[in-house]
Amino acid sequence: MSQSKFTIKDFKQRYPSDDACLEELMQLRFSDRPTCPNPTCQKVTKFHRVASKPVYECQWCGYQISPMAGTIFHKSPTPLSDWFYIMYLMTATRSGVSAKEVQRQLGVTYKTAWRMCNKIRQAMDEKSILDLRKICQFKPISRISPKLFLVFS
Ligand SMILES: [Zn+2]
């Protein structure tokens, strides 16, 4: 399977930081040429990352969107890169990952680890592929991108 060929080394290269994970989320949720959701703008735009904040802003009007808003990652004290790492582990291992293991690997409480596992499992389809529609708990701010599955490959 192509999924299993995506090694931990590949993972670390592709997602070296929270910023890299955020960019991936941005690309997944908002298509390459999104329309600005600001009612007074609504232009086809490019969103630029705002330094020091996990948000992007419209090139025309400065309207800000957060790729994490409305997702399981929103307001989580756990860094996005840790979420991605556990999502990678859960999709890469057939037997799954226990909350105890997540607790050990991330150094979080058992309660946090359990909650993370639960949310990630709920977001996976029967092939253990992460369905973005399920990661996004609420209606996306803008029209969701057609790339609906987060696959580590
Ligand atoms: Zn705009």
> CA 120 → CA 6, 14, 41, 61, 94, distances in Å?
19, 20, 35, 35, 15
Residues in the 5 Å CB sphere of ion ligand 1: 36, 38, 41, 58, 60-61, 63
Residue for token digits 């990661």? Answer: 135
pLDDT at residue number 32: 67
The answer for residues whose C-beta is within 8 angstroms of residue 97's C-beta and 6 or more apart is 86, 89, 90, 117
Percent of the chain at pLDDT exceeding 70? 89
150 sits in which H/E element: strand 149-150
pLDDT value of position 107: 96
- Residue 152's contacts (CB-CB under 8 Å, 6 or more residues apart) are 3, 6, 11, 87, 88, 91, 92
- DSSP of 24-60, one letter per residue? HHHHHHS-SSPBP--TTT--B--EEEPTTSS-EEETT
pLDDT digits (tens, 9 = 90+) for 75-118: 999 999 999 999 999 988 877 899 999 999 999 999 999 999 99
Strand 149-150 relative to strand 47-49, pairing: unpaired
> In angstroms, what is the span from residue 136 Cα to ligand 1's centroid?
22
Mean pLDDT in residue range 16-21: 96
What are the percentages of helix, strand and coil residues in the chain, rounded to 5? 40, 10, 50
Ligand 1 centroid–CA 58 distance in Å is 5
pLDDT of 143 strictly over 70: no
Give the per-residue pLDDT at 6.
85
Look at 28 and 56; give whichever has higher pLDDT. 56
How many whole angstroms from 32 Cα to the centroid of ligand 1? 15
Tell how far the Cα of 145 is from the centroid of ligand 1, in angstroms.
18
* Alpha carbon distance, N-terminus to C-terminus of the chain: 10
Mean pLDDT across the stretch 115-141? 83
Interval between CA 80 and ligand 1 midpoint (Å): 26
Query: 58 vs 6, which has greater pLDDT?
Result: 58
Share of the chain above pLDDT 90, in %: 62
* C-alpha of residue 52 to centroid of ligand 1, in Å: 20
What's the 57 CA to ligand 1 centre distance in angstroms? 8
Q: What pLDDT sits at residue 3?
A: 47
Rounded to the nearest whole angstrom, what is the distance from the C-alpha of residue 54 to the centroid of ligand 1?
18
Q: Which residues pair with 65 in a beta bridge?
A: 56
Q: Where do the domains of the chain lie?
A: 2-150
